[in-house]
Structure 1
Amino acid sequence: MSAKPLSGMTGFGRGASEGVFGSVIAEARSVNGKGLDVRLRLPAGLDALEIPLREAVRARFQRGSVTLTLTWNREAAEAAVRIDEARLDAYARAARVLSDQGLAAQASAGELMALKGVILSDDAETVSDETLEALNAAALAAADAALAALQGAREAEGAAMGAVLSGHLDEIGTLTRDAAGLDAASPEAIKARLEAKFNELLPSGLEPERLAQEAAMMAVKADIREELDRLAAHVTEARTLLKAGSPCGRKLDFLSQEFNREANTLCSKSSDPALTRIGLALKAAVDRLREQVQNVE
């Protein structure tokens, strides 16, 4: 099975269909979201498409706030607008009665035409079953085209982010190796620093056995090998997730939290300026990684 492309969560897509019903335009937009939030804006009478449209969105995306809007343009449809002559005649008779009784002024043709129900426009509830079936099929086709275009836009964003995320992981890997190469946390270096400190404070120095004990205790507290091993393992796991593609945003977010935890521990254990600088640089690199991860599906 081939890997899925890495995907972002922002983008736009558009699709359109035409027929005897007129034309249908579908527009799909998405922004970042912790989960998948689907919002539909449908013309009156096309409510029956809500379930299949939601399923179409879920089939393509797992995260992000997705808004799908359908617009039905009926200008090209036959008999798009008509007059209910019976209703107009009834309104006219009622208006004449009121006028003859002096209760109202004579109604003009424009006023009568503006009354509710006089001018009718075809909608999905008034068109023929055959036309409605064609309209529904066209609406689904336009929506599918819009969602496909949106998916392409999100994958293009993902490709750009993949290069950025890979660069952050390279930086974290390099800093991890730099920290491992320092001898500041080695037992010998700790013993030397401890001996120098005691010689400075105690002119008579410290007994060799006591010095060895103190050095061993400090070495245990300052040992950063586990943190460095976990950092290296996290880098490898993050690269595997990027290679596998989306959906991986939540897992990458969890890993970025683990990166941050190890970098904090490394800084807290450090008693050497060089190691502290590397720890702070690690924290900055992890922050940049985590910021970008929020955009990954």
Structure 2
Amino acid sequence: MGTFYTLHHKNRGHSGKTPTQDEPQAFAVGFPYTASFTDRRPESDMVHSMTAFSRQDLDADWGYLQLELRSVNQRYLEPHFRLPETLRDLEPDFREALRGRLARGKVECHLRFTPATGDAQLSVNRTRLEALANALADVRAGVPQAAMPDALALLNHPGVLEIPGPDMDIVKSEARALFRSALDDLEAGRAREGDKLAALIDARLDAILEQVAEVRRLLPDILARQRDQLHERLESAKTELDPQRLEAEMVLVAQKADVAEELDRLEAHVGEAKRQLASRGPVGRRLDFLMQELNREANTLSSKSVVTDTTRCAVELKVLIEQMREQIQNIE
């Protein structure tokens, strides 16, 4: 019976939402990069790794911004954010952007903001200061012996001294642009790493095909050796069998040792894995499934082995499959 490769799984994220809920939605009104953030990336003809790093900086007259994105392998998409309190409201925008561009991976986003100090002019909020003075007068009237604060203490009272800061709308707009640039760079890094992983996996798939071809080449000799071994055992036991009984015994032995079906399935799984490597979109889970199927056939081949040649090939297959499984853990 043929193997079907269509996988039916629930693509639930770390939050437990359904795929429909995880689909990117439009950002709040006024977000200047809605189109470029919510559009999913165009699917490319390459494998993407889940491991990458990106850092983007912006130094302006109003301050300094630095944004880091770090991505590692994870079963689902799992974003984490470290943002300044003044920019905390950007997190929903960033989260939706990641969901629109990435499918899997643990992604850490760290945004730093340092406002410019320079020679900013300080000003006193007179309304606040007068209210504070009236409150102090009430205290003095009620408790004459109470110590009164000095001028510096009054200036340190919240809201009395006003320090002009940057226009936060501008800062947020630039932070969004910086995030978009960092995300583009992160994706490019994941694509470059994915190319390397795909090449390593493809080379091992070719090595599996070589092992399969070697076993096929050895099959006639293996069956001949089994026939000779059966004759030797019968002769040593001083047992004579009629030709029909001998032929039946040989058929039984051949059936137990016949690995042609396993070899066919190994070739089919390798072909499907190569097709997945050349396909569009996330393929990590499909490749992981195929590695399980390849490993199952290698185990069956090993259990049916009656000579050292096929045992050696089965061991080599398991080594190659395990090497691929380690690499596939990093594929999106």
Normalised to the residue count of structure 2, the TM-score between the two structures is 0.75
Asked if 1 retains the 8 angstrom alpha-carbon contact of 2:121 and 2:163, the reply is yes
- Aligned match of 1:60: 101
Asked if 1 retains the 8 angstrom alpha-carbon contact of 2:43 and 2:280, the reply is no
Alignment of 1:94-243 (within 5 A): 101=143, 105-119=147-161, 131-183=167-219, 187-200=223-236, 202-243=237-278
Secondary structure of the structure 2 residue equivalent to 1:182 = helix
Q: Distance in 1 between matches of 2:292 and 2:246?
A: 38
**1:85–1:204: structure 2 CA closer, same or farther, 3 Å change rule?**
same
Deviates more, 1:69-78 or 1:212-221: 69-78
Asked if 2 retains the 8 angstrom alpha-carbon contact of 1:191 and 1:211, the reply is no
Q: Distance in 2 between matches of 1:82 and 1:40?
A: 35
Alignment of 1:73-88 (within 5 A): 73-75=114-116, 83-88=124-129
Higher RCO (C-alpha 8 Å, min separation 6): 1
Secondary structure of the structure 2 residue equivalent to 1:296 = coil
Task: Quote how far apart the aligned CAs of 1:113 are.
Answer: 4.3
Q: Does 1:249 align with 2:296?
A: no
Task: Quote how far apart the aligned CAs of 1:196 are.
Answer: 1.7
Count of matched residue positions in the alignment of Structure 1 and Structure 2: 290
Q: Does 1:4 align with 2:45?
A: yes
**1:98–1:278: structure 2 CA closer, same or farther, 3 Å change rule?**
same
Task: Quote how far apart the aligned CAs of 1:14 are.
Answer: 2.5
Task: Quote how far apart the aligned CAs of 1:117 are.
Answer: 4.1
**1:277–1:46: structure 2 CA closer, same or farther, 3 Å change rule?**
same
Alignment of 1:250-265 (within 5 A): 250-265=285-300
- Aligned match of 1:296: 331
* Superposed CA RMSD: 3.1
Unaligned 5+ runs, structure 1: none
**1:220–1:70: structure 2 CA closer, same or farther, 3 Å change rule?**
same
Task: Quote how far apart the aligned CAs of 1:251 are.
Answer: 0.9
Asked if 2 retains the 8 angstrom alpha-carbon contact of 1:29 and 1:67, the reply is yes
Normalised to the residue count of structure 1, the TM-score between the two structures is 0.83
Asked if 1 retains the 8 angstrom alpha-carbon contact of 2:80 and 2:107, the reply is yes
AA of the residue aligned to 1:174: E
Asked if 2 retains the 8 angstrom alpha-carbon contact of 1:7 and 1:245, the reply is no
AA of the residue aligned to 1:12: F
Asked if 2 retains the 8 angstrom alpha-carbon contact of 1:13 and 1:29, the reply is yes
AA of the residue aligned to 2:175: A
Task: Quote how far apart the aligned CAs of 1:171 are.
Answer: 1.8
Asked if 2 retains the 8 angstrom alpha-carbon contact of 1:17 and 1:141, the reply is no
AA of the residue aligned to 2:217: G
AA of the residue aligned to 1:59: G
Task: Quote how far apart the aligned CAs of 1:49 are.
Answer: 3.1
Task: Quote how far apart the aligned CAs of 1:112 are.
Answer: 4.2
Task: Quote how far apart the aligned CAs of 1:250 are.
Answer: 0.9
AA of the residue aligned to 1:163: A
- Aligned match of 1:42: 83
Asked if 1 retains the 8 angstrom alpha-carbon contact of 2:48 and 2:190, the reply is yes
AA of the residue aligned to 1:57: L
Q: Distance in 2 between matches of 1:207 and 1:99?
A: 125
**Which of residues 307, 312, 315 is equivalent to 1:277?**
312
Asked if 2 retains the 8 angstrom alpha-carbon contact of 1:184 and 1:275, the reply is no
Q: Distance in 1 between matches of 2:92 and 2:160?
A: 34
Unaligned 5+ runs, structure 2: 1-41
Q: Distance in 2 between matches of 1:4 and 1:83?
A: 61
- Aligned match of 2:26: none
Deviates more, 1:89-98 or 1:144-153: 89-98
Q: Distance in 2 between matches of 1:80 and 1:70?
A: 27
Offset from partner CA, 1:198-217 (integer Å, 9 cap, x none): 222x2133332222112111
Asked if 2 retains the 8 angstrom alpha-carbon contact of 1:32 and 1:65, the reply is yes
Secondary structure of the structure 2 residue equivalent to 1:8 = coil
**1:272–1:74: structure 2 CA closer, same or farther, 3 Å change rule?**
same
Task: Quote how far apart the aligned CAs of 1:249 are.
Answer: 0.9
